[in-house]
Structure 1
């Protein structure tokens, strides 16, 4: 069976950014049915509205700083921080400065494809 590079690798020039709300956009970096890696770019002041989903989510603050709320607890997180969200917990973010989150979801968020 022949496997193409696109089955294993995503290069920056191949990313497709989708605007999700004013000041926010996302790009699916890699995925399989059991897992997905997604980049979320935020302008300063942009909001990732409170929401929940049945996926486990782990997020890494790659750039900037965010006010993060998970299950009613709010914390300011600088670059280099991370947070985890169990399935169905309400969570959201506010970008305290321009920033980038790298999120992993399990299983994959089919609604992002």
Structure 2
């Protein structure tokens, strides 16, 4: 059993390129929860998808066109959105930006 990590520093984890203009890094996690930062260049897409995890997202920088279950809204810096389990969702970066997402339970596929 590994020791529980309580703190995460900004440059402890590497960015992973997911698609052109779209990167991700896992910041910290437990079996029950995970915090992940996503970086987007202007025009980059987080393609429509779904997963069993509940997701809450905070727009740390930029603005995004966010689609959840067929409903679309622009969410700017300082805004948030929540994606219940199983709903189809995705984003389009209207400008360069960053999302900080929390998933419950953690996303094993990101580790």
Shift of residue 12, structure 1, vs aligned partner: 1.5
* Aligned twin of 1:59: 57
After TM superposition, give the deviation of residue 10 of structure 1 in Å.
Answer: 1.4
- Within 5 A, what are the aligned runs for 1:1-113? 7-113=5-111
| TM-superposed deviation, 1:13 | 2.1
Shift of 1:101: 0.2
Count how many residue pairs are aligned between Structure 1 and Structure 2: 109
Q: Deviation string for 1:45-95 (max 9, x for gaps)?
A: 000000000000000001000000000000011101100000010000000
Structure 2 segments unaligned to the other structure (5+ residues) = none
Distance across 2 between alignment mates of 1:9 and 1:65:
28
Q: What is the CA distance between 1:8 and its match in structure 2?
A: 1.4
- TM normalised by structure 2 equals 0.95
- Which of the two has greater helix per residue? 1
Structure 1 segments of 4 or more deviating over 2 A?
none
RMSD (CA atoms): 1.0
After superposition, what is the alpha-carbon deviation per residue over 1:23-64, rounded to whole angstroms, capped at 9, x for unaligned? Answer: 000010110000000000000000000000000000000100
**TM-score, with normalisation over the residues of structure 1?**
0.93
Query: Where do 5+ consecutive residues of structure 1 fail to align?
Result: none
